Chains A and B, each alone.
Chain A
Amino acid sequence: MRKMLYAALLALATPAIAQPAPAPAAPASAVPNTPKNWAVIVMTADVNHDADEAWKRIGGNDYCAFIKYLGMNSCVLTVGTGDVGTNRLLNGTINELMVSKTGRSYVYAQPTSAIFYHGTMAVEPVTATTSRIVYTLVYDNANVAPEGRAAEMDRRRVRFQAAVDKMAADANGR
C-alpha cells in the first residue's frame, strides 16, 4: 500500500495532472498562500552560427515551431500571432501564454497549472559566429514528495535536453 501511495503521489505530480480544468471566476483572495518549492532547470546546447541565424533556424519567431522538437502532436494559436499575450494550445489540452518576448527569447506560462509552470527559450550570442541555445524551466514542485523531486526534475531535464539537442542539430546543419 505504501508503494501505491507513493506511486499515486508521483503520478499526481506529473505534467499531465498539472493541467486542471479551467476554474470558475474567483475573488481576489482565491490563490492560497501555500508553501512553494521552486525548481529551476537549465538546458543548453552550442550552435556554430551567430545568435540571429540560430534563432531563425530553430524557429524562434514561430510560437508553435518547437513542437517538432518535443514530439508533440499539435499546436494551435488560439489568441494572438506571436507577441506577448499570444496563447498556444498544445495537443488540444495545454494552454501556454506568452508572457514575455525579447529579440531572441520568449517566455511562456501555463495559466491554469497548479505548479506555476514557466519555460523560456532563448539564444544567447557567444561570439560573432557562434551562439548558445538556453532553455529554462521554473515551476513549483512543492506538491512532489521531497524524496521524489530529483527524479521528477530529471524526467523533465532529459526530455527537454533531447529537444534542445534536436534544435541545435537543426541549427548546426547545412
Chain B
Amino acid sequence: MRKLFGAAVFVLLATAAQAQTPQPADWITLTFTAELNKNADIAWERMGGNDWCAIVKYLDIKSCEVVSGRGELGSIRTINGTIVENVVARTKYSYTYAQPFTPIFYHGTMEVVPLTANSSRLVYTLIWNQTAVGDAAAQAAARDSRRQRFQAAVDKMAAAANAP
C-alpha cells in the first residue's frame, strides 16, 4: 500500500506540474470586425452562432465534427480530425472556445454586438501564447496566417449575414 500511495502521489504531482502553456508567456491578440445590416438576432442565426460547427463554412478548414454538445458550455468539436476545441464561455450572442491539447493556450471568441434595431457588429477575437510557437519568424508567420485566414472568414460571415 505504501508503494501504491507513493505512486499515486507521484503521478498526480507530475500531472499537476504540467503547465498548459510555456512561461513566460507572450500573448498576442487579434481582433476582426465587420458591420452587419441586420439586427443581432438575425445576424447571429445567419452566421451560424447556434451551430457549433458552422465555422467550417467560413474558415479554410476541411472538416468539423461535433464530438459532444450543441454549442453549450463544455461542448466539444474536432477540427480537421485533429484539433480539439471546447466551449468555455457562452452568452446569447457569443461563444468562446479553447484548445485543451495545444501548448499555445489558444482561445477564440465569436460575438455579435447589437447596435440598432437593424444593425449589429461581428467581433471575432483570437488570443494565444507566442512563446510556444517558435522563433520570431515563426511567430510572425503564425500571426500573418491567422490574420489573413480569419479576416477572410469574418468577411464571409458578414456576407452571409448581410445577404438580402
> How many angstroms between the C-alpha atoms of A8 and B13 in the bound complex?
11
- Apart from A1-B5, A138-B89, 19 more pairs, CB < 8 Å: A5-B5, A5-B8, A23-B17, A23-B18, A23-B22, A38-B76, A85-B27, A97-B27, A97-B105, A100-B94, A102-B91, A107-B109, A109-B98, A112-B21, A114-B15, A122-B89, A122-B91, A138-B86, A143-B12
- A120 contacts B89, C-beta separation under 8 Å: yes
Q: Please state if B27 and A114 are interface contacts (CB–CB under 8 Å).
A: no
Tell me the nearest residue of chain B to A99, going by C-beta.
B107
**Interface set, chain B 13-46, CB cutoff 8 A to A:** 13, 15-25, 27, 29, 31
On chain A, the residues within 8 Å of B91 by CB distance are 102, 104-105, 122, 124
Question: Can you identify 21 A-B contacts, CB atoms within 8 angstroms?
Answer: A5-B4, A5-B5, A12-B16, A13-B12, A28-B132, A30-B103, A31-B20, A38-B74, A84-B125, A100-B96, A102-B93, A102-B94, A105-B89, A107-B107, A109-B107, A111-B21, A113-B20, A114-B17, A138-B87, A140-B100, A143-B16
The size bracket of the interface on B is 35 or more
Closest-CB distance, B103 to chain A (whole angstroms): 5
Q: Which 8 A-B pairs have the closest CB atoms?
A: A22-B23, A23-B19, A118-B88, A99-B107, A120-B89, A100-B109, A107-B89, A100-B96
Collect the chain A residues with CB atoms within 8 Å of residue B88's CB: 99, 107, 109, 118, 120, 138
User: Do residues A31 and B73 form an inter-chain contact, with CB atoms below 8 A?
Assistant: no
Question: A33 contacts the other chain (Cβ, under 8 Å)?
Answer: yes
Q: With an 8 A cutoff between CB atoms, is B113 at the interface?
A: yes
What's the nearest-Cβ distance from chain A to residue B128, in Å?
A: 10
A24: chain B residues within 8 A (beta carbon): 22-23
A87 surroundings in chain B (CB, below 8 A) = 27
Nearest residue (CB) in B for A22 is: B23
Instruction: Please give the distance in Å from A51's CB to the nearest CB on chain B.
Output: 11
Taking the complex as formed, is A4 at the interface, i.e. its CB lies under 8 A from any CB of chain B?
A: yes
Given contacts A38-B74, A109-B107, A118-B89, contact A25 B19 (CB under 8 A): no
